[in-house]
Amino acid sequence: MAEKETDLAASTVTALDMMMLMEQMGRTIATASADAALTAHEKLNPHENRHAPGVSAFNPAGERDHPKLPLKCQMFWHGHREDQEQLRPDEIELFNRVPFTTKKYGQFTVKAEGDDVAGYRLYFDLGVRTLDERNALPSMRAILRQIVDGVPAS
């Protein structure tokens, strides 16, 4: 008789097991209901441009078909942190080609800092102190080309 009681106890579902099972069933039903509601909403209100190309002034080729590369590290241009979203693909490519060293390129200086733990950063000092001097500089692309390719910025 003791043997039958042990088998019965091993196969008994506890209240905790039952609560867990009911909770799981509730989550499954809620997920299915939410998916059905979302599908019904999409059928009633179709998105006008589901596959937008993501064309903008910062990516004329379109983000969907030609996503921009990430910057290789944090970049600071004359004290301002550069953001991949605000750069054109050609500017990102030039930034990524800048060697990770501290070096002076004419009036421009690139300073490299960082490590594997804190991350790497490149600081670009344009060698100007006044707004008039800053406004007299060539474009960022021209300065980056001078740093990367040695082509004088004009």
What angle, rounded to 10 degrees, do the helices at 140-149 and 89-97 form? Answer: 30
Lowest mean pLDDT among 8-17, 22-31, 140-149: 8-17
Q: Count of CB atoms within 10 A of residue 144's CB?
A: 23
**pLDDT tens across 77-108, in order?**
999 999 998 999 999 999 999 999 999 988 99
Q: Cβ distance 141 to 103 under 8 Å?
A: no
In this structure, the strands spanning 80-81 and 74-77 are: antiparallel
Q: How confident is the model at residue 113 (pLDDT cuts 50, 70, 90)?
A: very high
Distance CA 100, CA 114 (A): 10
Q: What is the DSSP string of 51-88?
A: T----BTTBTT-TTTSPPPPPSSEEEETTEE--GGGS-
Angle among Cα 35, 40, 46 to the nearest 5 degrees reads 115
All structural domains of the chain with their residue ranges: 2-44, 74-149
Tokens of residue 130, six digits: 């006044």
